[in-house]
Amino acid sequence: MIQGRSDGYMFDAGIWQMLRRCLLIGTAQSTYYAGKQELTNDFATVLNQAIAENPRRVADEILYASDGRAINNSAPILALVLLSMGETPEAKRAFMEIFPQVIRTGSHFYEWLNYTKSMRGFGKVIREAGRNWLGKEDVKGLAYQLLKYQQRSGFSHRDALRLFHVKPQTEDHQLLYNWVVKGWQELPSQIPSSALAQIWWYEWLKRNPSETHEAIQKGRLTHEMAAPVGKMDKQAWQLLFQEMPIGAMLRNLGSLTEIGVLRSDEPTNLDRIEAVLNNPEHLRKGRIHPIDALKALKTYQSGGALGRSKKTWQPVARIVDILEKTVELSFYVVEPTNKVFMHAVDVSGSMSSPVADMGLTCCEVATTMALVTAKAEKNYAIRGFSTQFIDLAITAKDTFSTAVRKASNLNFGGTDASVAYDWMIKNKFKADVVCFWTDSESWAGRKHPSQALAEYRQKVNPNIKAVYVTLTPYRITLVDPKDPMSWTGHEEMVYSVAFSPDGKTLASGSKDKKVKLWSLDLSKELYELSGHTDDVLCVAFSRNGQLLASGGAGNDKSIKLWHLSNQKILTLTGHSDWFGGIHSIAFSADSKILASGSNDKTIKLWDVNTGKQIRTINAHSECIYSVAFSPDGKILASASQDKIVKLWQVDSAREIATYTVCDNAVYSVSFNPNFKILASGNSDKTISLIPYSS
């Protein structure tokens, strides 16, 4: 155990868990127990240790956080700079690979420049990354970023071009760079290129500020482009609102209300707000973090009393209702488990401190997250702990606003997480899961939470699962790493699992882009295998147990062959479809051939030793969900969305049988090891047993 900042003793979460917390939460805001400088120094120390140990894994963690999971992109950008300072070639390669996926906007680019200037300077790898970003093929997209964000963090777009000496690749690049460096003394009589259309309208508006409405409508200018040079009246904001991206809409609800664009008697505009903010797909594509949604709700409800805006407004009741739903949808709540949950929300004094730079306290965030989970489950209780375990009177029928208010009014006292178990023992409350929402600084009381958990398991429920959600970027946890019931490996849903041939190891592939290996004897995680850039849809062990294969989803569409003895990786690429990736993989009986089925409707056979394709089979008319080898390795079966199961001769790729087994997709196939029978799992809730011959 290690001593926390509150002088209590907790378990060491390790460098990788702390790294993820820092990336997701950030260290720009002081907590109750630590200043922001101390937190940032700890972040840098842990990050440098992780880079020295495994730079590829650090890159994966940065990507994981930057992809809409972090509260904002500042911590991932800071980590990206430190990754570029890694001493090994592998660290430099990892930096270059993930740079365009982390630095997506002009704002990100200038923030990265600022950190880079402060921490390391502009060496070879930095200049290459900067030139690539400013020389990207999508000139129209680049022009949009350079116009929208003309300067940030002490840098302008002119500074960036001069710093990186970017050479234009096309005529459109040349025109864009000329505008950045010299501007337009005279407005061209015609738009010089479709890629520069927004820039032309921006320059036209500078010369005709009274024609703001026309410039917004025809030039599709954003408020960042139009506001500095145009005359912004209600009609101008109405035009902007009609095309406003979801992030800008969420940030400008107060301004739009003050101006009069959003009113209770203007249902058309309110309908648009609802259609955008209550659409899960819009929230996902816009990378709207749940905390952004909660912050928007709290700020809008305040009428301008909170936040940085100096404007004031009278909140529209329907918009408050829409934002309540937005908060719930932004968590992407999954199907209920139908387990009994006890939510223990930390309401001690330390939870009144803010989380990052968002205007929300730890207690407010904890209560919101607990309520989201409760809304997905029928069987739950929500109580608050400090040195007592009290009823917060929060139910699934509460709005987020009322729930936050109930919990926030009770922030007081020391922190003793063990009181939750004491109460459940006394009241014989049989929970399947107890979920603590806390800063993990449990220091009061006479026993450690891990001791109280052991007592609860002995007296009430031996199978209870304890989950501790930490809201601060500390390196402590209340989870005992030796607790066999506390496997907390994956951060997202698990798509696939597979046992090793000897039955001692379990592999899992997850939406968090990770593959993990678990020891059943030791009841703990053995390894985390990083390398995929999208969800891991399938995993499979070779028959000899020496190899593990994994298949990535559409943004990855690669197969990884992991040599388990030395953890070397062989990457197999060839499947083409962006949307589906690799749905199924299977090893032949002799472990020499790997088969893969994909959304691109093909089966590919691979030489395991070389990683080269043996052949491609144009197998089905729809996505292939499952492939399997016969016990003797001579026949391959495939199942598809096209309702069909097919058998193939492996050595010749000849189709030898076709079976239409249902009226919709066939999701899985498996050979009986002892009899010549093939089974298929079908979308119509049936299983088909199919006799076959060699």
SS3 160: helix
Task: Mark whether 468 and 613 lie in a shared domain.
Answer: no
Asked if the structure places residue 349 within a domain, the reply is: yes
Task: Mark whether 426 and 571 lie in a shared domain.
Answer: no
**End-of-domain residue from the set 301, 332, 363:** 332
pLDDT computed for residue 580 by the predictor: 58
- Weakly modelled stretches of the chain, pLDDT under 50: none
Task: Mark whether 520 and 449 lie in a shared domain.
Answer: no
pLDDT computed for residue 490 by the predictor: 66
pLDDT computed for residue 270 by the predictor: 96
Q: Which two tokens stand for residue 432?
A: 């399947």
Asked if the structure places residue 386 within a domain, the reply is: yes
**CA angle (207 as vertex; 203, 210 as ends), nearest 5:** 115
Asked if the structure places residue 295 within a domain, the reply is: yes
Task: Mark whether 565 and 604 lie in a shared domain.
Answer: yes
Helix/strand/coil (H/E/C) assignment for every residue in 462-482: CCCEEEEEECCCCCEECCCCC
Task: Mark whether 415 and 282 lie in a shared domain.
Answer: no
Q: What CATH code is carried by the domain that includes residue 616?
A: 2.130.10.10
Q: Answer for the pair 148, 202: CB distance below 8 angstroms, yes or no.
A: no
Asked if the structure places residue 308 within a domain, the reply is: yes
Provide the b/e sequence for 37-60 (b: ≥16 CB within 10 Å).
eebbebbbebbbebbeebbbbbbb
Task: Mark whether 502 and 456 lie in a shared domain.
Answer: no
CA separation for the pair 380, 121 (Å, rounded) = 53
Asked if the structure places residue 133 within a domain, the reply is: no
Number of domains in the chain: 3
Task: Mark whether 452 and 516 lie in a shared domain.
Answer: no
Q: Which helix (H) or strand (E) holds 381?
A: strand 380-385
CA separation for the pair 339, 634 (Å, rounded) = 45
Residues 6+ positions from 141 with CB-CB distance below 8 Å: none
Task: Mark whether 442 and 499 lie in a shared domain.
Answer: no
Domain containing 579 equals: 494-691
Task: Mark whether 570 and 661 lie in a shared domain.
Answer: yes
Residues 6+ positions from 58 with CB-CB distance below 8 Å: 19, 47, 50, 51, 79, 83, 91, 94
Q: What is the pTM of this model?
A: 0.71
Cα dihedral value 334, 337, 339, 345, nearest 10: -10
pLDDT computed for residue 355 by the predictor: 66
Q: What CATH code is carried by the domain that includes residue 444?
A: 3.40.50.410
Which of 435, 431, 489 is CA-nearest to residue 462?
431
Asked if the structure places residue 565 within a domain, the reply is: yes
Q: Answer for the pair 668, 638: CB distance below 8 angstroms, yes or no.
A: no
pLDDT in tens, 257-277: 999 999 999 999 999 999 999
CA separation for the pair 381, 276 (Å, rounded) = 32
Asked if the structure places residue 148 within a domain, the reply is: no
Task: Mark whether 438 and 455 lie in a shared domain.
Answer: yes
Task: Mark whether 522 and 606 lie in a shared domain.
Answer: yes
Q: Answer for the pair 621, 601: CB distance below 8 angstroms, yes or no.
A: yes
Asked if the structure places residue 346 within a domain, the reply is: yes
Report the Cα 114 to chain-centroid distance in Å.
25
Task: Mark whether 456 and 544 lie in a shared domain.
Answer: no
Q: Which stretches does DSSP call E strand in 608-691?
A: 613-618, 624-629, 635-640, 644-649, 654-660, 666-671, 677-682, 687-691
Residue type, 536: V
Cα-based distances in Å from 537 to 514, 546, 549, 625, 627 = 10, 21, 11, 10, 13
SS3 554: coil
pLDDT in tens, 108-141: 999 999 999 999 989 999 999 999 999 999 999 9
**End-of-domain residue from the set 303, 332, 361:** 332
pLDDT computed for residue 342 by the predictor: 94
